Amino acid sequence: MSEGLQAPRGTLDWLPPRSAARRAMIDRFREIFERAGYGEAMTPVFEDTSLFARTAGESSEVVGKEMYVFEDQGGRSLALRPEFTAAMVRAYLEHGLSREPLPVRLWSAGSCYRYAAVQRGRYREFTQVNAEAIGSDDPAVDAELIALQLEWFTSLGLAGLELRLNTIGDPTDRGPYLERLRAYLDAHLDDLDGEVRRQRDLNPLRAFDTKVPTSAAIMAGAPKITDHVSLAAAEHFATVRAFLDARGIEYTLDPTLVRGLDYYSRTTWEVSWPALGAQSGIGGGGRYDGLAAAIGGAPTPGVGFACGVERVLLALEEQGRSPAPATPTDVFFAVVAGAARPRLHALMDEARRAGLTCEADLAGRGFKGQLKQASRIGAAWTVLCGDDEWARGSSLVRDMTTGEQSEVPLDLLVGHLRATITGWTDAA
C-alpha cells in the first residue's frame, strides 16, 4: 500500500462487524453507569496544553513526551487529550457543578491520543471509557466505581481478570515518605540502574516500576508508601476494602502500584487481563483529591477510572466472544421483475417502519443470486416477486428454514409480514 493511502501509524479504522462490537461495548458501559446515576459528559478532544501539564504532572511520560501538542492559528497551545480525568474536573469547576448534589457522577467515551510506540493494544488514537465521581471523599465511592468497572468487564463476558489495589496516601504523607525513599535510594545508588536513578529526582515512586532484576531486588526492600500513610488515609483505605469485601470482590494488594499520573492520591487500582501480554492493563483508576486545586479550583475530592476499549475488545476476541450479537434480518426482498422493483422497495420501507429488519438486492443479482444473498445474511423470510406474481399483483412469502411459501397479495404484504413475524395485527 502506498503512503497516503493508509491510515496514519497507530490509528485504527472501525468497520463492520468490529465497529458494532465497539459500539456495543460503549452502550453496555452507558447502561451500567446510568443505572448507577452517572450522566454522560462530552468534552473537547483538545484542551489547553497547560490543563494536562498541571494535572498529570510534568514527570509523567504521558504528558512529558507523549502528548500531541499544536498551536492553533490564534497562537494558543493546545493538546489532544491523552486521558479524560483532567477535562472532567475542568468542566466540573468551570460549570459550577459543585452546587449539584455531590458527588457529581459522569461517564464518557471517546478517543484519546498519545504519541507512543505502536504495538498490539497500544495505539496513538485509542478509545477510552471513563467514569468519574467528583465532590466526595467517601470511600464508598471508590468501591462503587471499582465494582461498576468490574461489572462492565464481566457483563461483556470477560473472565480471568486481575484487580490490584493500593493506597498511596495523601500529598502530606508523601513528603516525609519520599524523603525516606530517596534516602534509601541514595544508600543503594551504586547498585541501581540509570533509569531508576533518573526517577530518584523526578518521581521516586516510579522507581518501584523497574523491571531490571538487580534494581527490583533492591526496591523490594525499600520503604513502602502503604506503611507510611496517615491514619486518615489508612482508615479510608480500610473502608474501601470493607466495601469491596462485602461485595465479594477479589483483589490483591500491591504496595508498589503507583500509577503513572501524578495527581493520584489514596486509592489506586489497576485491572489487567494477563493473557494480553505487555499491554495487559485494560483499566485503571484512582482517587485524585488534589487535582481540582492543582488547576486553580477549590479543593475538591474525586475518584475515577478509565478502560481501554481496544484492549478489552482484544481480550474478548481472544476468548472467542463478541460483544455484539448480529441483528438478524427478518425479510429479504427478492424482486426479479424489473417493473416490480419500485413498488416492492416502497413496501419494504413500510415494513421497516413497522419495525421489521429488511433488505433487498441492490446489485442487480439474478433470482438465484438473490436467494443466495437472502440465505447468506440469514433472512428468516424472503419475499419473491417475479413476472408471474407481479402480473397478479402478488408475491410469494418464503419461510427460509422450512422452504414453505405462500402467495400474498401486495396490498396485504406488509400486514401479513408484520402479523407473522411480530404477531401484531391491525385489528389489535
Partner RNA sequence: GUGGGCGUAGCUCAGCUGGUGGUAGCUCCGGGUUGUGGUCCCGGCGGUCGUGGGUUCGAGUCCCAUCGCUCACCCCA
Selection from 279, 339, 305 nearest residue 121 by Cα: 279
Tell me which of 117, 298, 362, 428 binds RNA, using CB under 7 A: 117
The rounded distance, in Å, linking the Cα atoms of 144 and 128 is: 19
Site for RNA, residues 219 to 258, rule: CB under 7 A: none
Build a one-symbol-per-residue string for 129-168: x at contacts with RNA by CB under 7 A, - elsewhere. ----------------------------------------
Assigned C-alpha cell, 380? 428468516
DSSP per residue, 289-328: TTHHHHTTS----EEEEEEEHHHHHHHHHHTT--SSPPPP
355 lies in the binding site for RNA (CB under 7 A)? no
Nearer to RNA, 167 or 373 (CB): 373
204 lies in the binding site for RNA (CB under 7 A)? no
Q: Which stretch binds RNA (CB under 7 A): 13-21, 319-327, 373-381, 409-417?
A: 373-381
211 lies in the binding site for RNA (CB under 7 A)? yes
Nearer to RNA, 161 or 324 (CB): 161
C-beta separation of 85 from 265 below 8 A? no
Site for RNA, residues 8 to 27, rule: CB under 7 A: 8-11
206 lies in the binding site for RNA (CB under 7 A)? yes
C-beta separation of 85 from 133 below 8 A? no
The rounded distance, in Å, linking the Cα atoms of 394 and 347 is: 12
Assigned C-alpha cell, 298? 477549590
Query: Could you tell me how many residues of this chain bind RNA (CB under 7 A)?
Result: 73
C-beta separation of 286 from 305 below 8 A? yes
Nearer to RNA, 119 or 172 (CB): 119
388 lies in the binding site for RNA (CB under 7 A)? yes
Tell me which of 123, 237, 288, 333 binds RNA, using CB under 7 A: 123
Nearer to RNA, 97 or 207 (CB): 207
Q: State the Cα angle at 290 between 138 and 184, rounded to 5°.
A: 105
Tell me which of 150, 400, 414, 417 binds RNA, using CB under 7 A: 400
69 lies in the binding site for RNA (CB under 7 A)? no
282 lies in the binding site for RNA (CB under 7 A)? yes
- C-alpha to C-alpha distances, 318 to 158, 162, 276, 311, 324, nearest whole angstrom: 10, 16, 9, 10, 15
214 lies in the binding site for RNA (CB under 7 A)? no
